[in-house]
Amino acid sequence: MYPGLSGGTIGIASGNVTSNVRTVYQLDGKRSLTPAERMLNDEVLRVAATADATTDLTGIPAVQGDPRIPVLSLHGIGDLFVPFSMEQVYAQRARQHHQSRLFVSRAIRENAHCGFTQAELQRGFDDLVHWVRTGQQPPGDSILDPRQVAKPTFGCRFTNGTHPEFAGAACPGS
């Protein structure tokens, strides 16, 4: 069973600690919903918080967005265990702490929670080591720009290899 889909998350939460019942999903930054957005909101799986859900976060370090050292993050845009929005929260926190210069995020078109290919991991590691050694920040994705995130090619730039579990459209040329 995929963690988080069974009403709990591997000893961290006894149930669903959050809900998307009232969430309105949008594909652009406009206030009004397009027909495609209405269809998406009608068809998306809705999950309510479990009334008796308890969370023990003592084993999980706080993530404040104040790294003070170079951080290069890979995040699957279809990850259900740690949603991509958590990557955006971290980027916002890094910005609030004036640490954006130390945080690079790369979106990967996968949804198997850390199901990165060897090529994606290798490039990320090599780019991080180069950054630490030279001070030259590597490229990343504009994860806080709604226009960039809404593009059908978002996540293609650093995706390298096949992710058969990803239900989204394939990247051009793949």
pLDDT of residue 146: 93
Give pLDDT, residue 56: 59
Higher pLDDT, 46 or 123: 123
From the number of C-beta atoms within 10 Å of its C-beta (0-12, 13-18, 19+), residue 14 rates as middle
Residue 73: helix, strand or coil by DSSP?
strand
Give the model's confidence band at 14: pLDDT under 50 very low, under 70 low, under 90 confident, else very high: low
Mean pLDDT confidence for 66-77:
94
Q: For the residues 59-70, what does the mean pLDDT come to?
A: 80
The band of 53, judged by pLDDT with boundaries at 50, 70 and 90, is: low
Q: How confident is the model at residue 83 (pLDDT cuts 50, 70, 90)?
A: confident
* Residue 41: Cβ-neighbour burial (10 angstroms; 0-12, 13-18, 19+): middle
pLDDT for 1 beyond 80: no
Residue (of 111, 86, 80) closest to 9 by Cα position? 80
Per-residue model confidence (pLDDT) at position 119: 96
Q: pLDDT tens for residues 96-124? A: 999 999 999 999 999 888 899 999 999 99
This prediction has a pTM of 0.71
